[in-house]
């Protein structure tokens, strides 16, 4: 492949990946802000909706930044360590593309693509189901008098009540319990990271460190998942569904959607040399 063809191939891949991820991000933003969740009613005696409102233990910014920054740092360190000694054989528009840079890009693009898939599936589920959060009564404070006989033992339709609570900015979010977005995001990012470390953190003396880092990543995920229940933000089934979605997304993306650059192994060639003076045959093994 000529230099021009190599440059075109690299640029085409970067542009296509960028456009695809950009389109997915737009779809995520649209489903999150423009799609009103399904309007669901309730039963007055539903105790699963009577929990008090609590602030997040793991807020959204902490979740998003940590879920992206930690894997990115691992990708950078592992790819540089594995491929830093490989010869640079490709150039794009005259600029050398080192193997560790290509390896970092491959892991990064696959990771973000899978993350967009999981996030989009999460948003679609939230708006389609419209499940009420456990703190629904505390935030909504529905206008119906649940002690009145006409509201007992019956399903109250959305058009039969209005929310009188003062925190109107939370009215939309209180209808987006299924699935847990924190759970799907944390599970995908940390599971993908654990799988990545198992494959790429393979240099000598890192086995115990690798397993410790994998355990730490999974415990960050586990803590985040459990906090969604203790914070009264989700029902246990919402969390289980989010965890399952993130786990399946990470495994599928790692197994079938990630191409990694493998470091070249040293090959041994046997070179036959003759000693003219002694007419003896010698063999030397040279590593290249």
The contacts of residue 72 (CB under 8 Å, 6+ apart) are: 108
Which of these is catalytic: 159, 234, 235, 282? 234
> Could you tell me which residues are beta bridge partners of residue 235?
none
DSSP 206: -
What is d(CA 224, CA 83) in angstroms, rounded to the nearest whole number? 34
Q: Where are the alpha helices (DSSP H) in 165-206?
A: 181-200
Cα distances (Å, whole numbers) of residue 210 to 75, 197, 202? 13, 7, 8
211 carries an active-site annotation: no
Q: Which helix (H) or strand (E) holds 5?
A: helix 3-33
> Catalytic residue at 234?
yes
Residue 135, C-beta contacts closer than 8 angstroms, at least 6 positions apart: 49, 51, 52, 53, 54, 174, 232, 233
* Candidates 9, 33, 182, 282; catalytic one: 182
Give the residue numbers annotated as catalytic, written as ranges: 182, 234
């Amino acid at each position: 492949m000529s230099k021009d063809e190599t440059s075109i191939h690299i640029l085409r891949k970067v542009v296509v990946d960028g456009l695809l991820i950009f389109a997915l991000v737009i779809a995520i933003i649209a489903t999150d802000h423009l799609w009103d969740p399904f309007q669901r009613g309730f039963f007055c005696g539903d105790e699963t909706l009577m929990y008090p409102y609590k602030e997040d233990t793991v807020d959204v910014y902490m979740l998003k930044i940590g879920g992206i920054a930690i894997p990115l740092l691992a990708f950078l360190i592992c790819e540089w360590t594995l491929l830093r000694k490989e010869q640079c054989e490709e150039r794009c528009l005259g600029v050398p593309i080192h193997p560790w840079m290509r390896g970092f890009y491959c892991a990064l693009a696959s990771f973000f693509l899978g993350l967009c898939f999981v996030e989009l599936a999460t948003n679609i589920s939230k708006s389609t189901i419209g499940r009420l959060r456990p703190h629904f009564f505390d935030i909504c404070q529905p206008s119906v008098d649940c002690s009145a006989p006409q509201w007992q033992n019956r399903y109250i339709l959305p058009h039969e009540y209005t929310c009188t609570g003062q925190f109107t900015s939370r009215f939309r979010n209180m209808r987006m319990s299924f699935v847990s977005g924190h759970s799907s995001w944390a599970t995908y990012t940390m599971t993908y990271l654990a799988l990545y470390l198992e494959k790429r953190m393979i240099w000598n003396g890192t086995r115990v460190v690798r397993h410790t880092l994998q355990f730490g990543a999974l415990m960050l995920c586990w803590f985040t998942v459990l906090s969604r229940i203790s914070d009264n933000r989700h029902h246990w089934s919402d969390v289980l569904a989010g965890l399952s979605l993130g786990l399946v997304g990470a495994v599928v993306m790692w197994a079938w959607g990630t191409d990694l650059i493998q470091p070249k192994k040293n090959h041994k060639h046997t070179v036959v040399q003759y000693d003219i003076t002694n007419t003896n045959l010698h063999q030397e093994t040279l590593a290249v």
